[in-house]
Amino acid sequence: MPVITCVEDLRLLAKKRVPKAFYDYADSGSYTESTYRANSDDLAAIKLRQRVAINVDQRNTRTTMVGQEVAMPVAIAPTGLTGMQWANGEMLGAIAAEKFGIPFTLSTMSICSIEDVASVTSKPFWFQLYVMRDRGFVKEMIQRAKACKCSALVLTLDLQILGQRHKDLKNGMSVPPRLTLANIIDLATKPGWALRALSGRKTFGNLVGHVKGGDGILTLSQWTASQFDPTLNWDDVAWIKKEWGGKLILKGILDVEDAKLAVTAGADAIVVSNHGGRQLDGAMSSIEALPMIVDAVGHQTEVWFDGGIRTGQDILKATALGAKGSMIGRAFLYGLGAMGEKGVTTMLEILQKELDVSMALTGTKDIREVNLSNIIRK
């Protein structure tokens, strides 16, 4: 096992161990990928303010997100096809998150079902919902989330139409999926992944039994592609909030006007996010949008950050700009693809250690005291 020092080490290991089609699915943006790159580049441009001769003994990274105590201001973001990075990946990720003390969010488009994840966890997790044309399915998923005692519903608002990801088309990750000669050759070089996959879940777990015509990945992927609803509007958000009745987190907010509407709709938290650069290519980075949204609505609801986090320093920067929490997607998938549950735990330990050390070197003892004085913006 190589020495793992940072999230980038996990990414490189995942790239070796996960079939190219699934690795690229996780690690790509739409069209030119300019927004995908901007998420990381704009974070890197923010500098931390070094302070010295300040007592920083007994530091604390613990805080709360929508009233839930967390070991650090981080939640695992919902990611589709997670179980294709490592067999039964959603269950393993949920177990690792629970042990570490941060929230785990299960995607509607997961390989393991909501019931699968509930069967291996002892504490409530979060469920992410996509609004489909079939409102019966939406209502059914809300009821299943309630039955599994999920403590928050994350409603993703920025995927009503799919942005094109060139790598997916070239790799056969299309609708319907296309098995290519390159894919077959690549799979032959990943025997460990293939062996694990034999015993793991192999289709969209939350959709099984709902779609007429079969439960295979082909049938379900075709149904899903026809179901993303371009008519999604704030009336739908109000309906979902009423059906759910619990903590509601709205993800995909990048504009001040939308942030204000989200508050009016009763969001308990909003996530400043551009879907990891996978949707509107040419949109601003999440970290660029964060301060203006915090200024506009941060006194009315919790504002969280999502997009480009690879280090604990990134978490510190987002917190300094007003984020009450951050969601991590790709860093989670890198850890999972590299070493399964152990990789997720390693990733979280790395981020917390980097956050803790960076707090100390900026003269900060408590994550709840981090503010604009901790950074230098050009």
* Mode of pairing for the β-strands spanning 375-376 and 47-48: antiparallel
8 A C-beta contact, residue 251 and residue 306: yes
Q: Is 113 annotated as a binding residue?
A: no
What are the phi and psi torsion angles at 366 (to 5°)? -130, 130
Q: Is 128 annotated as a binding residue?
A: yes
Rounded to whole angstroms, the Cα distance separating 15 from 368 reads: 36
Q: Please list the residues that pair with 69 across neighbouring strands.
A: 64
Rounded to whole angstroms, the Cα distance separating 64 from 366 reads: 13
Q: Is 59 annotated as a binding residue?
A: no
Q: Is 101 annotated as a binding residue?
A: no
Residue 28, phi-psi category: left (phi > 0), alpha (psi -120 to 50), beta (remainder): beta
Q: Is 79 annotated as a binding residue?
A: yes
**H/E/C letters for each residue in 290-315?**
HHHHHHHHCCCCEEEEECCCCCHHHH
Give the containing element (helix H, strand E) for 166: helix 166-170
Q: Is 189 annotated as a binding residue?
A: no
Beta strand ranges found along 66-151 (DSSP E): 68-70, 74-76, 105-106, 126-129
Which of 166, 210, 275, 299 is an active site residue? 275
8 A C-beta contact, residue 236 and residue 142: no
Q: Is 178 annotated as a binding residue?
A: no
Q: Is 165 annotated as a binding residue?
A: yes
Q: Is 156 annotated as a binding residue?
A: yes
Q: Is 62 annotated as a binding residue?
A: no
Q: Is 311 annotated as a binding residue?
A: no
Q: Is 31 annotated as a binding residue?
A: no
210 is catalytic: no
Q: Is 329 annotated as a binding residue?
A: yes
Q: Is 330 annotated as a binding residue?
A: yes
What are the phi and psi torsion angles at 89 (to 5°)? -60, -35
Which residues participate in the annotated binding site for FMN? 78-80, 107, 128, 130, 156, 251, 273, 306-310, 329-330
Which residues participate in the annotated binding site for glyoxylate? 25, 165, 275, 278
Which sequence positions are flagged as catalytic?
275
Which residues participate in the annotated binding site? 25, 78-80, 107, 128, 130, 156, 165, 251, 273, 275, 278, 306-310, 329-330
